[in-house]
Amino acid sequence: MRCDTAKRYLANHAANELGPWRRRALQSHLGRCPDCRSELTALKRTDSLLRRELGAPLAPANMWQHVAAHMDAVPTRTHTSVRAWALGVATAAALLLGLLGTRQQPSAPHQPATEPYAARYVMSSWRDPLADQASLGLMAGTMAQSVKREDR
């Protein structure tokens, strides 16, 4: 092994990121190269100095109060809301399927019951940031229905 390769491996070796084969080759090189040995010593000393001396100011004591005060205002993406989101998407998909079904029966009379429900759902889910995809799906469906009626 040449010294430039060994020096490149030394940094990986210090970070415990050298495979067993390269580690053995490096150790064999270190056994006969005083320059690379002194390089390893300097590297270990730098590591030691940084581990011991690298500090930071103490974190302010009142940070938790600030975080806790704002946690309620933050909409969480917990398992419950994921389920609610999935339910919203499923409802939207069911409504869209329903709309596609009515398109296949052009002579069927317009069913007014769906539209107020869709409008109410859009209004209620509009306030829920996780339900906006469901809302958009519904809005698209409602708009498509309106366009269809105007065409007639």
Partner 1 sequence: MDGVAVKTMAHDLVRRAQRGDRAAFEELFRDNQQTVYGMLWHMVRSEDDARDLTQDTFLEAWRSLGSLRDAAAFRTWLFRIAANKARDHLKRRRLPTTSMEELSPQSDAEAQLPDPSAGPQELLLAQERTSKVSAAVASLSADHRAVVAMYYLGGLDVAEIAKALGVPKGTVLSRLARARDALRRRLAPYVENADEM
Residues lying near partner 1 in the complex (CB under 8 A): 11-12, 14-17, 41-60, 63-64, 66-68, 70-71, 74-82
Q: How far is the CB of 90 from partner 1 (least distance, A)?
A: 19
Considering beta carbons, is residue 75 or 101 the nearer one to partner 1?
Answer: 75
Instruction: Give the residue carrying structure tokens 């399927």.
Output: 97
The answer to whether 29 and 1 are in contact (CB under 8 A) is: yes
Considering beta carbons, is residue 63 or 147 the nearer one to partner 1?
Answer: 63
Q: How far is the CB of 23 from partner 1 (least distance, A)?
A: 15
The answer to whether 95 and 114 are in contact (CB under 8 A) is: yes
Which of 134, 128, 151, 123 has its CA nearest to residue 95?
Answer: 134
Instruction: Give the residue carrying structure tokens 């917990």.
Output: 78
Q: How far is the CB of 17 from partner 1 (least distance, A)?
A: 5
